Structure 1
Amino acid sequence: MSVLLIEAFYGGSHKQLMDLLQEELQDDCVLCTLPAKKWHWKARTAALYFMQTVPASTNYRILFASSVLNLAELAALRPDLGKLKKVLYFHENQLAYPVQKCQERDFQYGYNQILSWFMPEHKLAHLEKVIGAKRNGDAYQLEDLSGQQKSRALMKNSNAQCESGLCEAQPGLYTTQHEGLPSPLTAPARSNQSEASESTNPCQEEDKQHLTFNLSDILSGKDYQQRPLHVAWPHRWEHDKDPETFFKVLMKLKEKDLPFHVSVLGEAFTEIPDIFSEAKKALGSSVLHWGYLPSKDDYFQALCMADVVISTAKHEFFGVAMVEAVYCGCYPLCPKALVYPEIFPAEYLYSTPEQLFKRLQNFCKRPDIVRKHLYKGETAGFSWAALGGKFRSLLAAEPREDL
């Protein structure tokens, strides 16, 4: 048990990553979690809980946690854990996270992140000596294995993003959100995905509809060519994913009598934006599926049946749902902002809701355009086959006294 995995919000992509790491590390790790409920309370109090519940051990070498945990508090409350090498994984940036209502931002959550990844001056100097980094203003130039120089921005810029790939596990540097997607060569056709979240949500139970289509029949013959465009939206039902913009575009398509089907997937929590119930009623027969699918097979089947996958997110560090959908053969349409330009070629990006509408309008008229399209981006780099070795190296490194 040399690796201590801590997850204060054990659900969704957080659970997905921790389960994958535990599976890969097997007997070499211990996993401590809290349920994926009441996120704000977990961010405030998880350190106190884990201080009492994480078993003491002299075998721990590395502590791996997501940024929901206030790592600085836990290190102060448990000096034995404070001595470990620490890897902090950021699923979002609370300093730039969209505020749902016009009110003053609760700075506590961003402050927790600052405390957890702050790198003091003496460690900045040490970083340069240990890993050969050269400082350039508020950024470092790190030499990767291929000898190329890549800029790694430090947290002094609240909008700093880490490039695709894992950053060196030093305090103060991002570790990017690459969920454990399997290699496209090892999974069934058009369904090369990692584990979907297995948690259920009672708020969506009554709206859940199960798919009854035969996939092989749908993907062949005249039915496939003539059926309406199928649009998928596989995101959490929360304000930062901007469902209002998505549904406004669909309503506009509906008003123009353009044929399409829509599958609204993703997980909901206690508070569901009103737009979901309003949109379901307004979209009527255009709705093919509505609600969270706890079965990964059903979820991937739904993505395989879709033609286009859309993001309208206001905040995104990576967007595993979009990459999963592309693996399943969907044509992606994403904002020309956030992390998306780093992942998707320009032809899959839109700048305004009007541009998104025009693209979908054309696809509704000619769905064969997207059904014949071959994705032009690269996805192999996000597979577990590509990233697994980096994670293993990250979690196999020996601790150092100066950390």
Structure 2
Amino acid sequence: MSPFYGGSHKQLIDLLKENIPSCSVFTLPAKKWHWRARTSALFFSQTVPTCSSYRVLFSSSVLNLCELVSLRPDLARLKKVLYFHENQLVYPVRKSQDRDFQYGYNEVLSCLVSDVVVFNSHFNMDSFLSSILPFMKKIPDHRPKDLAQQIRPKCVVMNYPVQFPDVSREHDKNPELFFNTLLRLKEKLLDFHVSVLGETFTDVPEIFSLARVSLDSNILNWGFLPSKDHYLQVLCDADVVVSTAKHEFFGVAMLEAVHCGCFPLCPKALVYPEIFPEQYLYSTPEQLCKRLQELCRRPDLAREHITMVTPLCFVAFLFSFGSQSVNWFWFCAGGHLLVLLDLPEDTVSVFADI
């Protein structure tokens, strides 16, 4: 079940659908995220048919799984797997009062009724579990206890199986730092070109319109590219890819760009130290600007460099259902891989070639 069927959420569901015979997929369009998180459980409770052959319920954490299984006791009996693309306990907001307590609270409840809780990175899992206690302290009195201890044994990290989705432009990617750094490079009369790719949503930070004017002569591509091939070609033509994210639980777009030959520069924070060695990380805006100045003056440093990423994880995970079992193999590792494994005929395999 995917209440927000778009981007990386769609990629994952489509990949599972392709590799798991006879699975049923129930989705809602990737619009109005807040309403999907609030109301999708009731919608799915009315639209998912009763079926005696269902064995596993796999859903993203956008769905309030606790509400769903209370409305549908037949689904409560299934093996329930909850997948976290991101978590709302540490998802950045512009002002602390903007954080809606209910979204994070619903995720905690969903974990409690799940059998398995899957995170796409250790950063995602650790930040969620460590934030439960301070998050629950917002409750004025009669607070629940030991929630992280109940949830932790269910948790497993399975790195996201990378393909090539479109990327988006949002405030949590810290565009102010990115564009301000480029403007500093332009002030120093350094030669560079930039492509800013992704969908435009309703709430676009003001810096985008300002930067588009100020950097006009440096811009090669701007906005959403209509075809996947065009998107990949832009990545292949680029020399450097920069992340200034304040929120990132896995970093799919950065791995896509590295796959296409880009030299990565990432914050020394969030999930990035799990994936990228020290040489690709920066700690301050000044360090980022200095690295980009060097690459502008010596583009050969990026063009002739072969990026090495930290090997991620090879996970063999077993869900047991009495006399039947399903083996889930999730493979992600650095480099360009051709994966050939001798698996039993009844094994369900999910691979990522990154």
**2:307 corresponds to:** 375
CA contact (8 A) 1:84 1:399 kept: no
**1:157 corresponds to:** 130
Q: Structure 1 residues 304, 365: CA separation in 2 closer, same or farther (over 3 Å shift)?
A: same
1:328-339 to structure 2, matched below 5 A, reads: 328-339=260-271
The letter for the 2-side match of 1:314 is K
User: 1:269 deviation in Å?
Assistant: 1.9
Tell me the number of residue pairs that the alignment of Structure 1 and Structure 2 aligns: 298
Distance 1:354 1:330 in 2: 21
CA contact (8 A) 1:117 1:171 kept: no
The letter for the 2-side match of 1:19 is D
Q: Which of 257, 262, 266 is residue 194 of structure 2 equivalent to?
A: 262
Structure 2 length as normaliser, TM-score? 0.78
The letter for the 2-side match of 1:398 is F
**1:283 corresponds to:** 215
Distance 1:356 1:378 in 2: 21
Q: Which of 68, 78, 81 is residue 87 of structure 1 equivalent to?
A: 81
Q: Which has the higher contact order (CA 8 A, sep 6+)?
A: 1
Distance 1:343 1:59 in 2: 39
For the residue of structure 1 that corresponds to 2:130, the secondary structure is coil
1:1-12 to structure 2, matched below 5 A, reads: 6-12=1-7
**2:14 corresponds to:** 19
Q: Does 1:251 align with 2:200?
A: no
**1:78 corresponds to:** 72
Q: Structure 1 residues 38, 282: CA separation in 2 closer, same or farther (over 3 Å shift)?
A: same
For the residue of structure 1 that corresponds to 2:131, the secondary structure is coil
**2:137 corresponds to:** none
Distance 1:33 1:119 in 2: 21
The letter for the 1-side match of 2:161 is G
User: 1:119 deviation in Å?
Assistant: 7.1
The letter for the 2-side match of 1:39 is W
Q: Does 1:196 align with 2:190?
A: no
Q: Deviations over 1:131-187 (max 9, x none)?
A: xxxxxxxxxxxxxxxxxxxxx869541289xxxxxxxxx886445463323xxxxxx
**2:50 corresponds to:** 56
CA contact (8 A) 1:267 1:291 kept: yes
Q: Percent identity?
A: 59
The letter for the 2-side match of 1:315 is H
User: 1:101 deviation in Å?
Assistant: 3.5
Distance 2:265 2:279 in 1: 9
CA contact (8 A) 2:274 2:310 kept: no
Q: Does 1:398 align with 2:321?
A: yes
Q: Deviations over 1:279-310 (max 9, x none)?
A: 11110110000012242211111111111111
**2:293 corresponds to:** 361
Q: Does 1:312 align with 2:312?
A: no
Q: Does 1:324 align with 2:324?
A: no
The letter for the 2-side match of 1:290 is W
User: 1:28 deviation in Å?
Assistant: 2.1
> What is the CA RMSD across the aligned residues, in angstroms?
2.5
The letter for the 1-side match of 2:284 is T
User: 1:43 deviation in Å?
Assistant: 0.5
CA contact (8 A) 1:363 1:370 kept: yes
Q: Structure 1 residues 171, 158: CA separation in 2 closer, same or farther (over 3 Å shift)?
A: closer
Structure 1 length as normaliser, TM-score? 0.69
Q: Structure 1: which 5+ residue stretches go unaligned?
A: 1-5, 128-151, 161-169, 182-193, 198-234
